[in-house]
């Protein structure tokens, strides 16, 4: 019998039991500046409270003796609230046992600016007409959010100021006016039926690269 700890459970299954979603994202470390918005554009369609978990540290967690650049901290936090997310700026008590006054003054300045904008941030709902299917490999339990393909399509659509959702193979797509299959979206039989039904009902599809084929390189669309 397989060890139960070896069983992989997809985030789609886990979300059934979630009441909120936290996204840990420290741009100065391995996450980078495309990590949070990609996660937000994937998660913010599920009608769950979303929080960006950031940090006061300049580079990586526990980077004592440093202070996050205010312009960077403002950019990260303002972008989070623009995605409908809440903001948490994490800290860790210094080994001296003393809080750093400069850290909390800076965090207070940023939160003070957000507080002024709260009337426009509460009970908001994202509106978009474009769904972008995240590529998925045959053995993956989850789509490959954050790879070079999703980073590329995020940058293109963001620079064009086109609001969009990242969607997986289980999401419904009928509400979108356009579905984009970027470069490496290999279709399952079930996803093919979903996309074909969507097109039969007037939906538009933009497929690039290898998208639109199945795992055996048979054209599906």
Q: Mark 24-63 as b/e (b = at least 16 C-beta within 10 Å).
A: bbbbbeebeebbbbbbbbbbbbeeeebebbbbbbeeeeeb
Q: Give the chain's mean pLDDT.
A: 86
Question: How many other CB atoms are there within 10 angstroms of residue 111's CB atom?
Answer: 13
Domain 9-120 and domain 130-207 have a common topology: yes
Instruction: Kindly state the average pLDDT of the residues 186-203.
Output: 92
Percent over 70 (pLDDT), the chain = 90
pLDDT band at 18 (very low <50, low <70, confident <90, very high): confident
C-alpha torsion angle, residues 169, 133, 146, 124 (rounded to 10): -100
Average pLDDT over residues 113-122: 92
pLDDT of residue 113: 94
User: What is d(CA 34, CA 196) in angstroms, rounded to the nearest whole number?
Assistant: 31
- How big is the chain, counted in residues? 221
**Which pLDDT value is given to residue 10?**
65
With 80 as the cut, is the pLDDT of residue 182 above it?
yes
DSSP label of 135: P
Confidence of residue 100 (pLDDT cuts 50, 70, 90): confident
Parse the chain into domains and list their residue ranges: 9-120, 130-207
Whether pTM > 0.95 for this model: the answer is no
∠ Cα 18 21 25 (to 5°): 150
Domain 130-207 falls in which CATH fold? Rossmann fold (3.40.50)
| CATH T-level topology, domain 9-120 | Rossmann fold (3.40.50)
């Amino acid at each position: 019998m397989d060890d139960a700890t070896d069983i992989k459970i997809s985030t789609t299954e886990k979300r059934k039991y979630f009441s909120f979603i936290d996204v840990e994202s420290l741009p100065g470390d391995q996450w980078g500046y495309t990590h949070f918005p990609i996660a937000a554009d994937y998660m913010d369609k599920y009608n769950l409270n979303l929080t960006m978990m950031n940090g006061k540290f300049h580079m990586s967690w526990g980077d004592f003796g440093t202070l996050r650049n205010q312009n960077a901290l403002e950019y990260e936090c303002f972008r989070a609230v623009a995605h409908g997310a809440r903001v948490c700026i994490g800290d860790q008590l210094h080994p001296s046992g003393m809080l750093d006054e400069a850290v909390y003054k800076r965090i207070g300045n940023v939160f003070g600016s957000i507080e002024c904008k709260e009337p426009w941030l509460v009970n908001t709902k994202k509106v978009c007409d474009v769904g972008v299917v995240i590529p998925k490999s045959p053995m993956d339990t989850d789509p490959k959010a954050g790879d070079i393909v999703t980073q590329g399509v995020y940058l293109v659509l963001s620079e064009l100021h086109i609001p969009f959702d990242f969607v997986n193979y289980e999401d419904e797509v009928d509400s979108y006016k356009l579905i984009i299959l970027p470069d490496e979206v290999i279709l399952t039989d079930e996803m093919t039926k979903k996309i074909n039904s969507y097109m039969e009902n007037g939906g538009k599809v933009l497929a690039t690269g290898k998208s639109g084929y199945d795992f055996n390189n048979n054209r599906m669309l």
